[in-house]
Amino acid sequence: MTDKIDTEEWVDQYITGLIDHTGLDVFIEEISLDDEDVIHVQIAGPDSARVIGREGQALDSLQHLVVASAIHAGAREQRILVDVEDYRVRRENRVRDDAIHFAEEALDTGDYQDLFPMSPRERRLVHMALADMDGVSTESVGQGEDRFVRIVPTRQ
């Protein structure tokens, strides 16, 4: 059994090493621990868009790599969240705003509204954002990468 390591220090060294090997012009802007014991890593720099990738795919891959490697290295069980220039926050706000917009559209037209395919995390955000909205319900539809949220008006 591997001895447990200091996760924050390990994350700093691991991501710094990855950045050095990629040659991308980015750096760790901040590593912080929140009240729920989640390690937040904020990356910034001129090549930030390349680290984010198309619709956050490269960032999601980096997130997965860091978490899997931390577990393998013996880091204590702790959530790690990697972000680039607050991309995740901006994306979550946009997903919530879109959900509300399409829910209002469903209420106005009386027709269901299909959102674009989303990750499980983003679908959950939509369901949560509209859970208390009167007159609409949500359901996930489709399979795999094509899975999306359908907003259904419940009042006529």
Domain boundaries, the chain: 7-85, 90-153
**Can you name the CATH fold of 7-85?**
GMP Synthetase; Chain A, domain 3 (3.30.300)
Nearest-angstrom CA–CA distance, 127 and 83: 23
Report the SS3 class of residue 2: coil
Q: Which pLDDT tens digits describe the chain residue by residue (156 residues)?
A: 345 568 889 999 999 999 999 999 999 999 998 888 899 999 999 999 999 999 899 999 999 999 999 988 877 677 899 999 999 999 999 999 999 999 999 999 999 999 999 988 899 999 999 999 999 999 999 999 899 999 999 975
CATH, range 90-153? 3.30.1370.50
Q: Backbone phi, then psi, for 137, in 5-degree steps? A: -130, 165
CA atoms lying within 13 Å on the CB side of residue 111: 5
What pLDDT is stored for residue 50 in this prediction? 96
In terms of Cβ atoms closer than 10 Å to its own Cβ (0-12, 13-18, 19+), residue 82 is: buried
Residue type, 103: A
Report the SS3 class of residue 100: helix
DSSP per residue over 24-39, as a string? Answer: -S-EEEEEEE-TTS-E
Distances (CA, A) of 98 to 95, 129, 154: 5, 10, 19
